[in-house]
């Protein structure tokens, strides 16, 4: 297949190219036919000359993992500007070897990464990042959380890293909403009781509460946290939050607390929405958990390691926490057996973005970052650590 690779001097140039490419499918144009078009359609002659001179110079993009929903989007977004190749390595060592001179991936410029690739090559840790060839300039990670990629190793190598913020907001927020309702109303326990042929659990009403009127505390009012706040506010619930800084465009009904302990003392439910970094491991620990009022509930759709699991289990055991709703765990897919002993908690197997709608949006957004980089030299979703590093340069 003929590939296109050129830089456009202005958005107008690119718009003209796009319109011409719709007139003629250049991937299907033979050299002989191209000169016929050049003679008969003089207005595209410059573009045909570009095609003739650059058709072998298209940058390579490696799809590292599975594309499930966006097959047509790959063709639309990258087909005319890049040569797309797919991961065929069977092991980590084979993957790294392919980036050595003469290897199949040696001249790859951009990488699309999704978490399924870890089953073959593991995380994109420092060993992987340091083993990439010098040609690699952009890694487009499919996911809002990017703790599976060593961002600081990327910065050291000058390899940009993007994620997919926004694409996951709705699906993850509705997962948090389910966990909120299930834990307050004990729906998970009740369903298990019904399936066991026992109808309702005994004394159920003494353990349940209405959602309306409760206070929801959000730790980290980013895209997902804000979307969850919007959903919960509809009941209505009182919404309070703590972030590193007050969110300037937050709705007026979102009450900001600079002091996190003061916020926790007013919360019926704490929902955690912080990224996993070195400074957020066990962020919700013994001190934070005990700052919650007795009978509170914790919801976690972020990452398992941001909560001190042992401290959380102790609080469940002594009744300080009435319940927890968990979609994430520290060592997935393993689940701490102690958690299985609590019938009053709700757990899901990391279902946050398990919808075809959100997964397609995530795939497209990651691919769009690659396209933007190849055309303009920069993608829209550069991760915050890289943005900070650029400011300090």
Q: Which residues are catalytic?
A: 303, 332, 350
b/e map of 265-300 (b: 16 or more CB within 10 Å)? Answer: eebbbbbbbbbbbeebeebbeeebbebbeeebbbbb
| Beta-carbon count within 10 A of 16 CB | 16
- CA–CA gap between residue 149 and residue 385 (Å, rounded): 12
Contact 128, 148 (CB under 8 A): no
d(CA 29, CA 115): 37
Q: Are the CB atoms for 188 and 182 separated by under 8 Å?
A: yes
CA distances from 301 to 54, 285, 322, 382 (A): 47, 16, 18, 23
The CA radius of gyration of the chain, in Å to the nearest whole number, is 25
CA atoms within 13 A on the CB side of 24: 21
Rounded to 10 degrees, what is the CA torsion of 58, 64, 70, 76? Answer: 0
| Three-state SS sequence of 109-148 | EEEEECHHHHHHHCCECHHHHHHCCCCCCEEEECCCCCCC
Report d(CA 276, CA 150) in Å as an integer: 12
Nearest-angstrom CA–CA distance, 98 and 100: 5
Q: Are 267 and 242 in contact (CB under 8 A)?
A: no
């Amino acid at each position: 297949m003929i590939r296109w690779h050129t830089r456009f001097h202005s958005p107008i140039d690119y718009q003209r190219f796009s319109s011409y490419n719709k007139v003629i499918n250049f991937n299907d144009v033979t050299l002989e036919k191209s000169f016929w078009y050049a003679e008969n359609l003089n207005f595209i002659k410059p573009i045909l000359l570009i095609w003739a001179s650059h058709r072998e110079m298209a940058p390579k993009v490696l799809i590292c993992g599975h594309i499930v929903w966006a097959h047509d989007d790959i063709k639309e977004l990258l087909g005319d500007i890049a040569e797309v190749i797919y991961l065929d390595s069977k092991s980590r060592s084979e993957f790294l070897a392919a980036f050595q001179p003469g290897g199949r991936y040696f001249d790859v410029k951009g990488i699309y990464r999704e978490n399924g690739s870890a089953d073959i090559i593991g995380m994109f840790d420092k060993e992987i990042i340091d083993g990439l060839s010098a040609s690699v300039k952009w890694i487009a990670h499919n996911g809002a959380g990017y703790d599976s990629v060593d961002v600081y190793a990327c910065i050291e190598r000058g390899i940009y890293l993007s994620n997919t913020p926004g694409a996951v907001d709705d699906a993850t927020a509705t997962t948090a909403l389910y966990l909120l309702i299930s834990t307050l109303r004990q729906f998970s326990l009740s369903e298990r009781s019904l399936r066991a042929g026992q109808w309702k659990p005994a004394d159920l009403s003494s353990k349940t509460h209405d959602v309306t009127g409760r206070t929801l505390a959000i730790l980290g009012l980013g895209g997902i946290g804000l979307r969850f706040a919007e959903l919960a506010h509809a009941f209505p619930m009182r919404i309070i939050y703590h972030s590193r800084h007050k969110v300037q465009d937050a709705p007026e009904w979102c009450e900001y607390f600079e002091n996190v302990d003061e916020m926790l003392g007013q919360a019926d439910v704490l929902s955690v929405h912080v990224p996993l970094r070195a400074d957020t491991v066990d962020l919700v620990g013994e001190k934070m958990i005990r700052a919650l009022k007795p009978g509170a509930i914790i919801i976690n759709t972020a990452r398992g390691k941001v909560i001190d699991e042992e401290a959380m289990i102790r609080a469940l055991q002594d009744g300080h926490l009435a319940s927890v709703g968990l979609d994430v765990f520290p060592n997935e897919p393993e689940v701490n057996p102690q958690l299985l002993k609590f019938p009053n908690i709700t757990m899901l197997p990391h279902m946050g973005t398990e919808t075809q709608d959100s997964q397609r949006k995530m795939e497209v957004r990651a691919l769009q970052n690659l396209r933007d980089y190849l055309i303009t030299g920069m993608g829209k979703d550069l991760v915050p650590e890289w943005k900070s590093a650029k400011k300090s340069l």
